[in-house]
Amino acid sequence: MKKVCISVVLVLLVICPLFAQKQPNIVYIFVDDLGYGDVQANYPKGKIPTPNIDQLALEGIRFTDAHSGASVCSPSRYGLLTGRQFAREDWDGKIGSANNACMIEPQQVTVAEYLKEKGYHTACIGKWHLGQAWYSAPDQKHPLGNKTDYTVPTSDGPNDQGFDYFFGLHGASTSSPYTYMRNRLVTVIPTEKGRKGKPAAPGWDFSAILATVTDEALQYIDQRAEDEDTPFFLYFPLTSVHTPIFPGKDWQGKSEVGWYGDFVMETDWVVGEVLKRLKKHGIDDNTVVIFSSDNGSHGRSNPTHIKPHNVGSAQSHYGHDMNGAWRGVKGDMYEGGHRIPMIIKWPEIVKPASVNHELVMVEDFYATLADYFNDSLNEYVAEDSYSILPYLKGETPGKPIRSYAVLNTFFGYDFIRCGDWVYAPFEGSGGPYSQLGKGGKKSKIAQEAHARGQLYNLKTDPKQENNLWEENHEKVKELSAMLRLHLEQGHSIGIRRSDGADH
């Protein structure tokens, strides 16, 4: 049965006085594998120009302590759309089955469904990467592969999670089938062998993906701008700068950081095109634009990755700090794995050129919208989302809105950030890519049973080089209990909803 009616799980406190004015359009640009240091507004020492993203920061608020829900793609997308932290899920089971099932449970109310209830038209254009069901024949589910019948519509995908329209890729740009989808069907049936022999549409071109999805997003804005009575939500998850590193042909050779830098420059161009299109239609003053990344960067710089540097070659070969001054890369528990660029432009709410240094996460998008609409969410909706609307308004609450954040590594290891402290009940990076710490896959049982772990104080040790595990047993004990309570309770501790109440 389809999800429970939103009106049952959302308690409308009052008829929002804001409905007297026009509801804002919302565009969320969710970049793939873009590091904190890839945006010059964050890190002026970076070697890649990002004028359009920097201009967005001048027009909005820039967060310096923003984090993805995990240091890897799909779990962060899950957190953004549901407001629920993926640490609460069966990590291996959910990700392992994502080729033939959606990672979002049927009963969950996504932010897209919430906005549809508010009268929004909704679209997802770009990279889905949260799974959907494929078929070998009508009514016969089958893992995506050689027996897939691409003439049969998929189910349990974007159109079943609150999006009126979907165009883009089933998964990452590395994931087959290499073909675009429009709603529940592929646009071209993959009849050829593509990368690594996987199914591909004839003439598939990795270097054209970003321009293709961008053109589709701009056309969507054109169409929606004609309907002045219906606000729209465009979730625009880009395929850049995820591997394979293939910038558009017109962008190759533009930067000083190889194809990686070229890809970042093309991504910055995309942001500029979206902003220009909104302005062209005269709707930029009534459109919220959010820009963030799904995790930190691995920094691979071109298709051959400048061997032997490989991961981090943007840094080691070209001297570009893709994750700024932070330690670690995509997949890691270290800050470079999950501290991300985040900028929000919200005319009449956000003071231009603002900077906020408080802890925030992509999960907070959901509760912030609910707060704006004066809705209270119960503990079974957006369980780990905090409203950061006060920060957007320039207000300074008596205490931080988010006192802690639970995050995950590439392999699903849980760790916690609380104040200046980072506690991880395991050794090493927890991810496969880092050159700066031991990675490798271990089970959750091994993680919990491990005798040693990591404890860092970011205020005194921002590079996370001094492990205080043995020196501060009281803090280890405190944060260990807090992490366990978070996971056992089922929703965040002390989360403040729009009515100001704590759980």
Q: Give the pLDDT band (50/70/90) at residue 450.
A: low
- pLDDT at residue 14, rounded to an integer: 36
Does residue 498 form part of some domain?
A: no
CB 451 within 8 A of CB 378: no
Q: Kindly tell me if the per-residue pLDDT of 423 is higher than 70.
A: yes
Contacts of 215 (CB under 8 A, 6+ apart): none
pLDDT of 502 above 70: no
| Domain membership flag for residue 11 | no
Both 371 and 437 in one domain: the answer is no
**Which of 282, 349, 350, 332 is closest to 439 using CA atoms?**
332
Q: Which of 392, 423, 441 is the last residue of a domain?
A: 392
CATH number at residue 442: 3.30.1120
User: Does 347 fall in a domain?
Assistant: yes
Mean pLDDT of the chain: 89
* For residue 178, pLDDT beyond 60: yes
- What sign does the CA torsion over 251, 257, 263, 264 have? negative
**Residues ≥6 apart with Cβ < 8 Å to 117:** 6, 7, 10
DSSP state letter for 39: S
Q: Is residue 436 domain-shared with residue 371, that is, in the same domain?
A: no
**Do 299 and 367 share a domain, yes or no?**
yes
Q: Is the pLDDT of residue 213 over 90?
A: yes
Does residue 431 sit in the same domain as residue 326?
Answer: no
Calculate the alpha carbon distances from 252 to 64, 262, 322, 468 in Å. 30, 6, 18, 45
User: Which of 22, 21, 27, 24 has the alpha carbon at shortest distance from 277?
Assistant: 27
> Using one digit for the tens of pLDDT, what is the confidence trace for 373-397?
999 888 789 999 999 999 999 999 8
pLDDT of 136 over the 50 cut: yes
Cα–Cα distance for residue pair 342/344, rounded to 1 Å: 7
Identify whether residues 136 and 280 lie together within a single domain.
yes
What is the C-alpha R_g of the chain?
Answer: 22
Cis peptide before 51 (omega within 30 of 0): no
- What is the band of 63 on the pLDDT scale with cuts at 50, 70, 90? very high
CA count, 13 A, side-chain hemisphere, 77: 29
Same domain, 306 and 441: no
Q: What is the average pLDDT across 331-337?
A: 96
CB neighbours of residue 141 within 10 Å: 13
7 falls within a domain: no
Q: 55 by DSSP, 3-state: which?
A: helix
Is the residue at 12 inside a domain?
Answer: no
Q: What is the pTM of this model?
A: 0.93
In a domain, residue 461? The reply is yes
pLDDT of residue 196: 83
- For residues 386 and 411, membership in a common domain is answered with no
Residue 16 lies in a domain: no
Distance CA 377, CA 386 (A): 11
Q: Are residues 248 and 318 in the same domain?
A: yes
CA–CA dist 43, 52 (Å, integer): 15
**Positive or negative torsion for Cα 423, 78, 40, 241:** positive
Residue 498 has pLDDT above 50, yes or no: no
**Res 320 pLDDT > 50:** yes
Q: How far apart are CA 354 and CA 35, in angstroms?
A: 21
Are 193 and 287 within one domain? yes
Q: Are residues 33 and 150 in the same domain?
A: yes
Residue 392 burial (10 A CB sphere; 0-12, 13-18, 19+):
buried
* Number of Cβ within a 10 Å radius of residue 219: 13
For residue 124, the model assigns a pLDDT of: 98
Rounded to an integer, the average pLDDT of 435-439 is 43
Give me the pLDDT at residue 7, please: 47
Q: Are residues 63 and 141 in the same domain?
A: yes
Which carries the bigger pLDDT value, residue 471 or residue 380? 471
Q: What is the pLDDT of residue 145?
A: 81
Report the DSSP beta bridge partners of residue 182.
Answer: 167, 185
Residue 495 covered by a domain: no
**Amino acid (1-letter code) at residue 385:** S
pLDDT (average), residues 471-495: 87
Which residue, among 206, 308, 214, 320, has the nearest Cα to 252 in the 3D structure?
A: 206
Q: Categorize the per-residue pLDDT at 97 as very low, low, confident or very high, splitting at 50, 70 and 90.
A: low
Question: Beta-carbon neighbour count of residue 459 at 10 Å?
Answer: 9
Q: How far apart are the first and last CA of the chain?
A: 30
pLDDT in tens, 239-296: 999 999 999 999 999 999 999 999 999 999 999 999 999 999 999 999 999 999 999 9
Domain count, the chain: 2
For residues 58 and 198, membership in a common domain is answered with yes
Domain span at 110? 22-392
Q: Residue written as tokens 């909803």?
A: 497
Domain-ending residue, one of 360, 392, 424:
392
Model pLDDT, residue 96:
66
Q: What is the CATH number of the domain that holds 187?
A: 3.40.720.10
Question: Which of 336, 367, 392 is the C-terminal boundary of a domain?
Answer: 392
57 vs 54: CA distance, rounded Å: 5
CA distance 387 to 371: 6
Q: What is the pLDDT of residue 21?
A: 59
- Statement: residue 456 has pLDDT above 50: yes
Asked if the bond preceding 177 is cis, omega within 30° of 0, the reply is: yes
Predicted local distance difference test score (pLDDT) of residue 8? 40
Q: What is the mean pLDDT of residues 47-73?
A: 97
117-127 pLDDT tens trace: 999 999 999 99
Q: Is the pLDDT of residue 135 over 90?
A: yes
